[in-house]
Amino acid sequence: MVLRMNTQKGESGGPVFNQSGQLIGMVVSTLSDGNGRPLNLGHAVPATRIASFFCGNASCPGDWSQLASRTTDICPNS
């Protein structure tokens, strides 16, 4: 997913929460201009995809298993 927010180098792996405080993703990259200044755009992997990956390779506790079974991502304003 694309994040319209300022993300910095070193924030990869950080959580992304929606307005309700639910975990919806993990930051994976940030975009910057040719001078290295952030462009207020970043990328994240949706939490549903992360849960599906882990739960497909091992047993998961209840909350993660429920998240992995969702077919849509939990995103604000959608």
- pLDDT, residue 38, reads 75
Q: Where are the domains of the chain?
A: 2-68
- pLDDT, residue 15, reads 92
The answer for residues whose C-beta is within 8 angstroms of residue 8's C-beta and 6 or more apart is 30, 38
Q: Phi-psi bin for 40: left (phi > 0), alpha (psi -120 to 50), beta? A: left
Average pLDDT over residues 5-29: 87
pLDDT in tens, 22-75: 888 999 988 888 887 878 888 899 988 888 887 776 677 767 677 777 655 555
What do you get for the CA distance between the two ends of the chain, in Å? 13
The answer for residues whose C-beta is within 8 angstroms of residue 60's C-beta and 6 or more apart is 51, 54, 68
Q: pLDDT-derived band of residue 78, with 50, 70 and 90 as boundaries?
A: very low
